[in-house]
Chain A
Amino acid sequence: MSIPNNLRYTKSHEWVRLEGDGTATVGITQHAQELLGDMVFVETPAVGRKLKQSEECAVVESVKAAADVYAPIAGEVTAVNPELESAPEKINQDAYEAWLFKLKPDNASDLDKLLDATAYQNIIESEDH
């Protein structure tokens, strides 16, 4: 399982990508998708909502379980992925393509404090054993 090098990660299995326009795109990782299985419902935060770091802000539900999604960094929600309402299975198909929402970070430098691909890989491996 490859973990993209260009993304940042959290211990709670979110990924974050800093875009050229300064916004940050957020999704859940391939590992999280595999643990949850077939996705059937996604609840995204309202556009304009201001999130604190680690605040519960979205829910992904698979056939077998519901999981909270936490804001990886503080910021204001600027967009949500409209495709997921009717096609939550897109997360199963490509977790790094099927983003949940975009944030305007309060501090772009907060991203640097998140895990890089290697550190995230280590966390998954320690969970598996």
Chain B
Amino acid sequence: MMAKMVDFGGWDMPLHYGSQLDEHHKVRSDAGMFDVSHMLAVDIEGQDARAFLRRLVANNVDKLTQPGKALYSCMLNPQGGVIDDLIIYFLTESHFRMVVNAGTADKDMAWMQAQRDELAPGLSITPRRDLAMIAVQGPNARAKVWQVVPGAQAETEQLKLFQAKLVDKYFIARTGYTGEDGFEIMLPSTDAVAFWNALFAAGVAPAGLGARDTLRLEAGMNLYGQDMDETTNPLESGLGWTVDLKSDRDFIGKNTLLESPVKKQLIGLVLIDRGVLRSHQKISTEQTRNEDEGEITSGGFSPTLNKSIALARVPLNVSPGDEVHVAVRDKALRATVVKYPFVRNGKVLVDLPS
């Protein structure tokens, strides 16, 4: 396959195979696949696994009661900053599996091992570089996977969102990063090329990092390193729903979060004027034109809306329906504040400025 390759955190990754826009539309309307093997699966095994995770991550792993159930969470540092965002799968009481970002995998491993040494020395934390990961996404994605993996339909048709099941050598999870239905599948890396080719033969379109980014932006999903990082508070990054401050469980970073006033929020923007919003552009509100007020964290062109959209961190007094100005080169372009996601399951969810 002819792909335009880029260096992505030391990984040689496909940015796009042909037209990035075509890849995007194929995922929204049919089925596309992404090689996301750069992401790291980490197995956490031992009888203290759940207790360790209660302390390690901001969401509450006690929500995981059924084997195969998944939970999205941030892992925070003591200052309340986000070390990484990740998914945790509950397999058995002594075996949880985490999937972490590629660019943060080394520091995540070091952090988790240090916490393990302190909290649960008997626990084993094993990076699974032997596993590949392929995300198959789109309204027809599940059916295409069922065509390719014998017996998978019976085993995975009943899976709800954020549930997973091991079928033969395929760990099949009904999760994704596009806002469409589909699966993320972990499998032995030695089988990955054959699986990819079989999906391709079944009509699944290869899609690159470029389409992955426009799809997740439309779906209003955070990207680590852009929308949040170690210096940002998850409560100011649109991730409050993943932080469990209600239970009396004590997790790393909790005290700082409770003591820090929340001053900003993550909102969606749809550009009214012509142009393209990009990350780091500054935002000012109609009243003050003060450029220090806000900043785009992720911006780009939305192929589904055929307009530019963005996620932005702004003060709490900015509300949906407000018009703001974004500094783009030498101009102040007008944008409307919206509640995101912008697109889910092929449908536009925001009111578009005319």
Contact = CB atoms under 8 A, between A and B. Distances in A.
Contacts of B275: 41, 43, 61
B282 interface: no
A contact residues, range: 10 to 19
Given A63-B214, A63-B300, A40 B276 contact: yes
Interface stretch (B13-21, B77-85, B89-97, B339-347): B13-21
A41 B4 contact: no
Contact of A40 (B4, B301, B329): B301
Nearest to B21: A38
A79 interface: no
Contacts of B20: 37-38, 63-64
A59 B329 contact: yes
B276 A38 contact: no
A65 B214 CA distance: 13
A64 B15 contact: yes
Given A38-B20, A40-B301, A41-B301, A66 B210 contact: no
Contacts, number: 37
A63 B305 CA distance: 13
Nearest to B278: A66
B278 A63 contact: no
Given A63-B214, A63-B300, A37 B19 contact: yes
A106 interface: no
Interface string A94-111: 000000000000000000
B276 A66 contact: yes
B315 interface: no
B67 interface: no
Contacts of A41: 274-276, 301, 308
Given A37-B20, A37-B210, A41-B275, A63 B301 contact: yes
A85 B214 CA distance: 22
A63 B25 CA distance: 13
Interface in A28-85: 37-38, 40-41, 43, 59, 61, 63-64, 66, 85
Interface residues of B, number: 17
A38 B274 contact: no
Contact of A63 (B4, B210, B274, B329): B210
A67 B316 CA distance: 34
B153 to A, nearest CB: 35
Nearest to A38: B21
A63 B303 contact: yes
Nearest to B211: A63
Interface in B232-285: 274-276, 278
A59 B333 CA distance: 15
A57 to B, nearest CB: 12
A32 to B, nearest CB: 14
Nearest to B214: A63
A63 B15 contact: no
A85 B274 contact: yes
B139 to A, nearest CB: 22
A104 to B, nearest CB: 25
B1 to A, nearest CB: 16
Nearest to A61: B276
Contacts of B21: 38, 63
Q: Which among A38, A59, A92 has the greatest number of chain B C-beta atoms within 10 A?
A: A38
B324 to A, nearest CB: 19
A41 B306 CA distance: 11
A61 B275 CA distance: 8
Interface string A111-122: 000000000000
Q: Which among A41, A59, A64, A66 has the greatest number of chain B C-beta atoms within 10 A?
A: A64
Nearest to A42: B274
A78 to B, nearest CB: 22
Interface of A: 37-38, 40-41, 43, 59, 61, 63-64, 66, 85, 92
12 contacts: A37-B19, A40-B276, A40-B308, A41-B275, A43-B274, A43-B275, A59-B329, A61-B275, A61-B276, A64-B210, A85-B274, A92-B19
Which A-B residue pairs are the 3 nearest by beta carbons? A40-B301, A61-B276, A38-B21
Interface of B: 4, 15-16, 19-21, 210, 214, 274-276, 278, 300-301, 303, 308, 329
Given A37-B19, A37-B210, 10 more contacts: A37-B4, A38-B20, A40-B276, A43-B274, A61-B276, A63-B214, A63-B300, A63-B303, A64-B20, A66-B276
